[in-house]
Structure 1
Amino acid sequence: MSQPISDTYAQQLQQMRADLIAQIRAQRGGKIGRAESALDPHDIQSGDWSQVDGERDLAQALDERETAALRAIDEALQRIANGTFGLCTDCGAEIPTARLHAAPTAQRCIGCQTRYERDHPGATPSL
């Protein structure tokens, strides 16, 4: 992949990363961590422990999803840095540009991604 094209994807990925971090901070009310947000005194005082547990489970699931998204962005940036961005991590074929535009964190071509999802049913699908 040419340097100008790689630079374009790098900029897009950096923006995605910055937007995701800003979203995480806004949801948590600043730069507080998972432990601090889990100890919200309002939740404890409400008395409805099932609701509190449900909200915490949802928050944890969102946190795991956001962490996975950040990891995927960082891995894509690493592939740009080492010159393998745009190549399928399974078969080495070029990933179509349209796929990379839609999902710049894509690691696999469509065929390999389909096989991966079939072989790993619990895995999070990738575009």
Structure 2
Amino acid sequence: MNVPLSDTFKIQLVALRADAMAQLRAQRGGAVGRAEAAADALASASDDQASADAQRGLAFTLEERESAELVAIDAALERIADGSYGLCLDCGVSIPTARLHANPTALRCVACQTALEQGQSKA
């Protein structure tokens, strides 16, 4: 991938990372850590135990999703740094830029991703 195009994706990924970090902070009630956020959630739990459990479960699920997104973004930024960004992890072909614009953390071309999702191996 040429440098100006990888710079475009780097800018997009850095912005996505900032958004994900802001969402995590908001879910945690500010810049508190995971343990502090859990303690705050337990302390402010409502009298309805089922509702409180559901709220904690949803918060945990959202945080896990955001954390996974951060890992994927950081991995994509590493691929930009080492020059492998935009190459399919499985077959090595260039991932179309339209796919990368839609999903800048994509690891595979459409064919390999489809094969993976269907439980098949293209290699």
The CA deviation string for residues 18-51 of structure 1, in whole angstroms up to 9 with x for no partner, is 11111211222211122222222221xx221111
Inter-partner Cα distance in structure 2 for 1:42 and 1:75? 36
- Residues 36-55 of structure 1 mapped to structure 2, 5 A cutoff: 36-40=36-40, 41-43=43-45, 46-55=46-55
TM-aligned CA deviation for residue 80 of structure 1:
0.5
The CA deviation string for residues 81-119 of structure 1, in whole angstroms up to 9 with x for no partner, is 111101000110110111011111100000111111122
Kindly provide the amino acid, as one letter, of the partner of residue 42 in structure 1: S
- Does residue 33 in structure 1 map to residue 48 in structure 2? no
| Structure number with higher relative contact order (C-alpha < 8 Å, ≥ 6 residues apart) | 2
Inter-partner Cα distance in structure 2 for 1:28 and 1:64? 12
Kindly provide the amino acid, as one letter, of the partner of residue 66 in structure 1: E
Q: Which stretches in structure 1 are left out of the alignment for 5+ residues?
A: 121-127
- TM-score of the superposition, structure 1-length normalised? 0.87
Residue matched to 1:125: none
Inter-partner Cα distance in structure 2 for 1:34 and 1:49? 21
- TM-score of the superposition, structure 2-length normalised? 0.90
Residue matched to 2:92: 92
Kindly provide the amino acid, as one letter, of the partner of residue 118 in structure 1: Q
Q: Which stretches in structure 2 are left out of the alignment for 5+ residues?
A: none
Inter-partner Cα distance in structure 2 for 1:81 and 1:2? 12
Contact 2:27-2:59 within 8 A present in 1 as well: no
Inter-partner Cα distance in structure 1 for 2:97 and 2:81? 18
